[in-house]
Structure formats: structure tokens, C-alpha cells
Structure 1
Amino acid sequence: MMSSKFKESMRNIKSNRPLISVQDIVTFIEKGEKYLKLDVLTEQEEIEILHGIVLSPDYQRKYRSSIREESSIIESLLIGIPIPEVFLVISGENDAQIRHVMDGQHRLNAIFRYINNKFPLKNLEIIGENPAYDNKKFSELDKKDKIKILGSHLSILEFESFEDPEVEIELFKRYNRNTKPLEIQEIEMATYFSETSKFISNFINSLIEDSEDNLFHFDNLREMKLLKLYNITKGRNDKQKNHQEICIIFSVLEKGLQENIRDGITASKVFLERKSKLFKRNEDENLIEMREIFDDFNELIIKISNEVEFPFSMSMVSDKKERQSKF
């Protein structure tokens, strides 16, 4: 049952509806991509990523869309059909006012990918097999068509940062009710966003990217070992699980075992919520110190792995040889 305080918060949601050109949307997404790769922001970097849009954070479902579906969105821009409204949320009170996507990720992703020549137009239902468009990437279009796309405007519903994170969770549920629902961890990673949560995502993603790009070599054995020890894989659900597990580790390293927290799901949520509150108030998350502690912890785990293959598994406390979870 909703409390009176929660109902009041729902009634006091603040938002605005700007029209933003596709050209500016692409610029904001590029800023968001840059932001996700940065660690501690300098003053100049905060200015450079101002109003960035975080398009593909790990809490969002894995982007799956056919070229035909993506082409349909671009066709709408070319012939002037309005694109459904996109919902953005300002992530806290940070000066850079970074925004994440609550609803509309696939629309923005298709536009961003097309502008960056990631796919050619296919199966245009209204324009048809016009040689000016069929099988053409953005760079191959006539100038007038490039200007038509970049000059098109999208309707944006932009929410100010929510004081009560439960309000954002409720909105996520409502806006995703008619699509594949977000997992609990996905919603929490979105709602309780922070620099600490972003660091954990970057830690996971960097290990995956290095392994995929074959960047592991004799000087990089540490990363290769960590990928194995944390049992990190690139699957959407696996990455959510990895993020949750590392949140639990961070929670214990920072606050110890807390008597009122009896399970990992709660530990992760409480940790993410605590860091998010600091982020939204633009206060210190203690991330610099926590990164140093986490580095030391990883060195310890690597040393333990010389004796126990999977230190996060039950093999730490049991000699039984039957199949056990690695983490």
C-alpha cells in the first residue's frame, strides 16, 4: 500500500518538455558515452559532458533491434512522421546534469547508430526501394536528406532528479508495463545511480572488453585472473549478477558485516541506495579510498587463488569435489 508521503511525492514530480534536434541528441549521447568512461571528473571534463545522455548503461536491457526496425525510425525522420516521446531523468544534482534514459533507448540507439554509419537503410515501407535511400548509410545520403535527419526534432519528457527513489522505480514499472519488464537489479542500477556504481560497471566491462579484444598478455595476467575469479561473462543477466556481487563486496569492505542485513540482495540495494543519495547531493562517495581498498582486496584474492582455484566459491570452506558454483 502506498504511503501518504509516497503519494505526495508522485504528485510533485517536476518535468519539462523540450524539443531537441537530432543533431543535438547525437552530441548529448556522445557526451554520455564519454562520461561512462571517465573516473574522477575534472572541472573541465564536467563542462565537456554537460547535459550528456547515458544511452546504454548496464541496467538497460541488451539492445536488440533488427535493421528493418531501425530503418523504420530513420524513415519516419525522413518523411516527417513524429517519433514517440523519449523520457529522460536527470541523475542527481551534479553540476554536469547527466541524464539517463527511462524510456526510448531503442529509438535513440537507432538514430545514434545510423548517424555513425552502423547500418544501411533496409525494407523502407513508405519510401520503398528508392535508390536514393535503399541500402544507403548516413554518409551516402544526399546533403538535403542528411540535413532533414539532423534538423528533425524529438519530443523529450525530462524529469528532474527524484528525491524519493521509489518514485523512479514506480515510473520505470509503469513505462515498461507493455514491454519486456526490467529485472529488479536493472531497475535498482538505474534508480540508485552513482559514480561508485558506474565504477563497478566499468570494472566489469573493461575485463570483458580486454578479453574480447585479446588484450590479455603476460603483463596483464592480473586482469585475466580477475575475469576468471569473478566469473565474469558478457551476458545481460550475468553482468547484472556480477554487478550485484561486487556491490556486496564493496559494502562489506566499507561497512563490514551489518547485523540488519541478512542477504546479498538487500546488501546490494542498501549499498547502491546509500551511494546514490551521496551522488544526488553532489557529496563525496568515498570512491577514491574504496578503489584503493578494492585493489588491495583483489591482490589478496589473486594470492588465495594460487591455493584455491575459486576463492569466492564453497571450495574455500569445503573439500568436497562435487560440482560447485564458481562464485
Structure 2
Amino acid sequence: MTKPPLTLYLAAPRGFCAGVERAIKIVEMAIEKWGAPVYVRHEIVHNRYVVDDLRDKGAVFVEELDEAPDDRPVIFSAHGVPKSVPAEARAREMVYVDATCPLVSKVHIEAERHHQNGLQMVMIGHAGHPETLGTMGQLPDGEVLLVETVADVAEIAPRDPERLAFITQTTLSVDDTVDIVAALKERFPAIVGPHKEDICYATTNRQEAVKAMAPNCDAMLVVGAPNSSNSKRLVEVGSKAGCRYSQLVQRATDIDWRALDGIESLGVTAGASAPEVLIDEVVDAFRDRYDVRVELVETAVETVEFKVPRALREPVRA
């Protein structure tokens, strides 16, 4: 039977960012250096396939530090951790490696600098997300006010409206954040913003690629995990950019083929913690059912690389 034709627009950039690649490499190098098991506080990145692969290699994932023994190395996830976590690790004399993405660490440093200058922080982010918890945990309780929406801006009660600064989670929707920042500046004209935008290059680049291809797509699939903030934002960006069906899938087995019946064009992208093997899996699933013509939609070329911590590059001391 003849397969129906399908134009498959493949976003570039897509998938792994430099921070995710660094975090995964940190776990692999830690296992190689110290042997298994190596403990990891929280999922190193938000992707089940990646986590399962590292678990097979000898990583043990725990939610809190008290689940890890004192005598085995522990790694902190790419999302960052509150200051209390490394403090506890030091108190227990644990060997630990911080895999926090350097761009998240930049936001932590920024928050501390503003705090030292006497400013109270407003954080634009998602309540309960590990990155938000980690960033808010850099400062004493009450020093960071969280806003998730424009409506939240009207509800916060800073101690001094003239002494405020704002920071953002690195994986937010660029467009949504612009509206929240505008509301903050309207209500608090003296508020201080980041020296450079907090939303990371990879989040911005992936969203721009989705915006470029969405108007040409009958449907769009974002390969990523349901607990991945940047992946969920890509789904939202696709819908807002004009794609009538924009959905998140973890694997090819999650594709709702009935919902895609009759499509002639499809956009495929992936969140920053989704490996290329899962993207290939989705593309191959469409090749099985359609006569696929792939078109690359490239809006940026990424060359960013982050070094792993020195502790992993040094030999084990006798």
C-alpha cells in the first residue's frame, strides 16, 4: 500500500544543551573514578531514558541527601540545590560534585549579589520546580518572592518597593516572561533586572526554532519528559505560534496516531534533556507510516561547552 506523503520539519537546535551534556558526563566520570554506586540527589536531568541509562551504569537516584550514605560520592543535579544541601554534605564529610548548570549558577550568584546590596528578590519561576527551589534556597527565608504569572505581580508585598531586583528560572517561555517583567516594572519602577537575561541560550534557541516552523505544521511533537519545564514550554510556544496540535511525547510509543490522522506536515523538536536517540525513534516511527521528506529548520548554531569540575579531572588520591 502506498504511504501518504509527509513533510517532517526537524528543528535545529533541539535536544541536549551544554548544561545537560555536562551533567550526564559528570555522573559517568564519577562512576569511572570512584566506582559504583554513585548517588545522585534528584534526577540529574528530567528524562527517564537518561536516568535509566545512568542507573544501569551504577548511579543511584535519591530525592534527599539523607537517603545517601556518608561513604559514597554524591552528585547534585543540573537544576541546582539550596545552600543547605552542600552544607549538609560538608558536615557529613561526604565527597560531592555539583552538576548545577553554570547558567543556573549564574542566577544564584546574581541573587546573592543583589542580597548583599540590600535588595529583596522577586523570582519569576514555577513553584516546586527543582531549579526554583534551588535558586530560592540560596538566600534566607523571605528574601525571595515567587511570581508565576502576571496576576501574581499584583499580589506580592515586598518590604520596600524601592529596593527590589528580579531573577528568572532559566527554562521559562521567553514571551510569557516578557509580560511578567513588564508588569513588575510597571508596579515597581525602581526594580533592578539581570545584567544579562536569565533565560538560557538553549531555551531561547529551541523556542525560536519552534516559532519558525509552527506556522507550516499541521501538528507538532516535542520529545521530552512531563516534568521538564523547557519541554512543556516548547509545547505552549508551538500552540501560540499557530500549530493547531502541539503535544509532548516521551517516546515514539506515546504518539497518538488517531489525533494525527490526515496530517500532511509535522514539526518535531525536543527539550534540552532529551537525547537524539529518542528523536530518531520518533522520526523512524513516522517513516514506517508515511513517505517522509525531512526539512531542517535551523535558526541557530550552538557551540557552547561547559567544563566538568576539576575534582573529576584529577586522579584519585592514594
| Global fold match (TM > 0.5) | no
Specify which structure has the bigger relative contact order, considering alpha-carbon pairs within 8 angstroms and separated by 6 or more residues: 2
TM-score band w.r.t. shorter chain:
under 0.3
With structure 1 as the length reference, what TM-score do the two structures score?
0.25
With structure 2 as the length reference, what TM-score do the two structures score?
0.25
